[in-house]
């Protein structure tokens, strides 16, 4: 009897269809869990915090203030994705920029992408806005430094196990002299174990 019932199990598995279900839960970035093992919101936050702490804590900032008696002006350059994963570098750059602006120690000027529309608007004002409120031409603030960097990965895997190493390297380059005044990095390593069904 038991054997007969056991033999029915595979048939039942084939016949029973599972209804799809969906649930949504909200959470903060702090609560982000590693689901796939890939680059995620928590990695962005952790990296941005580390980079900002590093860039603001190093000597270049005080040296610049002493020499120029003002906050350095930074422009966002390119952060290259040199990894083997399609990760968007924009959220990381945006996070770093936000933290740096909010620190009050550094100011940012519009990046190449943003400048176009601002210039268009300013030019438009010259014709259409009243003289008092129209903004001056050729009064842009030039940046002192460009912030750029790259993300690289090293993957080591065997069977269902994988170690993913992320290295985020950022640099501040003096636009006038090409001097690299600061370089910092953040490393993240993740160990992923994929379960496999025994045949």
Partner 1 sequence: MVNSVKQFIRVLSIALLLIVLLSCSATKTQKSHLETADNQIKQGNFAGAANTVEAVKDKNYTKKDRVLYWLDMGMLYHYAHEYQRSNEYLSQAEKGIEELYSKSVSRAVASMLLNDNVMEYSGEDYEDIYLNIFKAINYLELREIATEKNARADLFDKAFVEIRRIDEKLKGLEAKHKKMAKELKKSKEAKVEIKAAKNKFHNSVLARYLSMLMYRVEGNYDDARIDLQKISEAWKTQSHIYAHRQPDFKPMLKKTDKVRLNLMCFTGRAPDKKARTLYIHTEQDMLFFATSAEKKNYKRNLTSIDAIYWKGIEAGYHFKFQLPVMKNRDSKVKKIEVLVDGKKVQSPQLTENIQTVATETFKVKESLIFFKTIIRTVSKGLLTKSQTDKLNTGSELADTLLRWGVNAAVDATENADLRIARFFPAFVYTQEMLLSEGKHTLKINYYSSSGLLLFADDHGEIEIKADSINLRESFCLD
The binding site for partner 1 (CB under 8 A) comprises 1, 3-5, 7-8, 10-11, 13-15, 78, 80-86, 112-113, 155, 157-160, 194-199
Measured from the CB atom, is 8 or 129 closer to partner 1? 8
State the minimum distance, in angstroms, from the CB of residue 177 to partner 1.
Answer: 23
State the minimum distance, in angstroms, from the CB of residue 127 to partner 1.
Answer: 27
Q: Which residues have a Cβ under 8 Å from the Cβ of 137 and sit 6 or more positions away?
A: 122, 123, 126
Measured from the CB atom, is 71 or 78 closer to partner 1? 78
Measured from the CB atom, is 11 or 139 closer to partner 1? 11
State the minimum distance, in angstroms, from the CB of residue 198 to partner 1.
Answer: 5
State the minimum distance, in angstroms, from the CB of residue 80 to partner 1.
Answer: 6
Q: What is the 3-state secondary structure (H, E, C) of 126-193?
A: HHHCCCCCCCCCCCCCCCCEEEEEEEEEEEEEECCEEEEEEEEEEEEEECCCCCEEEEEEEEEEEEEE
Measured from the CB atom, is 61 or 143 closer to partner 1? 143
Q: Which of 139, 69, 149, 144 is nearest to 107 (CA)?
A: 144
Measured from the CB atom, is 57 or 116 closer to partner 1? 116
Rounded distance between C-alpha atoms, residue 161 and residue 145, angstroms: 42
State the minimum distance, in angstroms, from the CB of residue 13 to partner 1.
Answer: 5
Cβ neighbourhood burial of 151 (10 Å; 0-12, 13-18, 19+): buried
């Amino acid at each position: 009897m038991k054997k007969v019932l056991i033999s029915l199990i595979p048939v039942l598995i084939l016949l029973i269809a599972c209804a799809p279900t969906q649930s949504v839960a909200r959470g903060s970035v702090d609560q982000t869990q590693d689901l796939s093992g890939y680059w995620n919101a928590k990695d962005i936050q952790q990296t941005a915090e580390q980079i900002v702490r590093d860039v603001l804590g190093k000597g270049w900032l005080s040296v610049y203030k002493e020499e120029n008696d003002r906050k350095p002006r930074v422009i966002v350059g390119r952060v290259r994705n040199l990894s083997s994963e399609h990760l968007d570098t924009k959220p990381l750059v945006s996070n770093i920029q936000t933290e740096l602006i909010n620190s009050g120690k550094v100011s940012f000027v519009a990046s190449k992408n943003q400048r176009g529309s601002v210039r268009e608007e300013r030019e438009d004002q010259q014709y259409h806005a009243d003289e008092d409120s129209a903004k001056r031409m050729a009064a842009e603030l030039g940046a002192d430094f460009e912030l750029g960097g790259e993300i690289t990965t090293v993957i080591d895997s065997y069977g269902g196990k994988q170690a993913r190493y992320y290295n985020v390297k950022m640099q501040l380059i003096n636009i006038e002299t090409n001097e690299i005044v600061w370089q910092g990095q953040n490393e993240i390593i993740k160990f992923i174990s994929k379960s496999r069904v025994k045949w």
